[in-house]
Chains A and B, each alone.
Chain A
Amino acid sequence: DAKTTQPNSMESNEEEPVHLPCNHSTISGTDYIHWYRQLPSQGPEYVIHGLTSNVNNRMASLAIAEDRKSSTLILHRATLRDAAVYYCILRDRGSQGNLIFGKGTKLSVKP
């Protein structure tokens, strides 16, 4: 699976939007972009995924660059509960299903 690059940490204020970037310049045509997050002392949880088009769900939005070499996870209104480590992961549909995590971005949310 191709590698991703994320900032180590980011800060946000409560109730403001948060844009979490991810670079994946070596992405292949069959790689899906997945985001998981891990709240303190919990297992990771699925957030969203996409291939080419932007995606929205109840948790977040995923904006994918036209060349697919980068993407951005958007939390529209950060809450204190969104403080977590966010992982951007590439998954090739043709490969085995295990996730390859990097170090992720630790998001802090200030009240």
Chain B
Amino acid sequence: GAGVSQSPRYKVAKRGQDVALRCDPISGHVSLFWYQQALGQGPEFLTYFQNEAQLDKSGLPSDRFFAERPEGSVSTLKIQRTQQEDSAVYLCASSLTEFREQYFGPGTRLTVT
């Protein structure tokens, strides 16, 4: 079956631009997670949704980061006024329930110039 998909796969933004990153989770998966992965590091947690409810956004690095999942399926991570330090791979993962294994998408590589 279809896995987790993310779009775009690559995004180049000029500093100060807003970007929106999309995640299509596996159908029926209740839990959705966003992670940020800097070069050479392991992924770091950003935020977590259970259906449409954002239960934890403690990992979002600043108020320029915003995530939503309005209908409990597709999720969008938005970054306003991008900065160079936002350059990273943004990974989305979904799981059937909170504690089940997570299935990751291929990620979106964001480069801020």
User: Chain A: residues with CB nearer than 8 A to chain B?
Assistant: 34, 36, 41-46, 49, 85, 87, 91, 93, 96-104
Contacts and interface: CB of A to CB of B under 8 A. Distances in A.
A85 B42 CA distance: 9
B23 to A, nearest CB: 11
Contact of B43 (A41, A91, A99): A99
17 contacts: A42-B104, A43-B104, A43-B106, A43-B107, A44-B93, A45-B104, A46-B102, A49-B101, A93-B99, A97-B33, A97-B102, A99-B43, A99-B102, A101-B35, A101-B42, A101-B43, A103-B41
Interface residues on B, range: 20 to 34
Interface of B: 4, 31, 33, 35, 41-45, 48, 55-56, 59, 91, 93, 95, 98-99, 101-107
A44 B43 contact: yes
B92 to A, nearest CB: 8
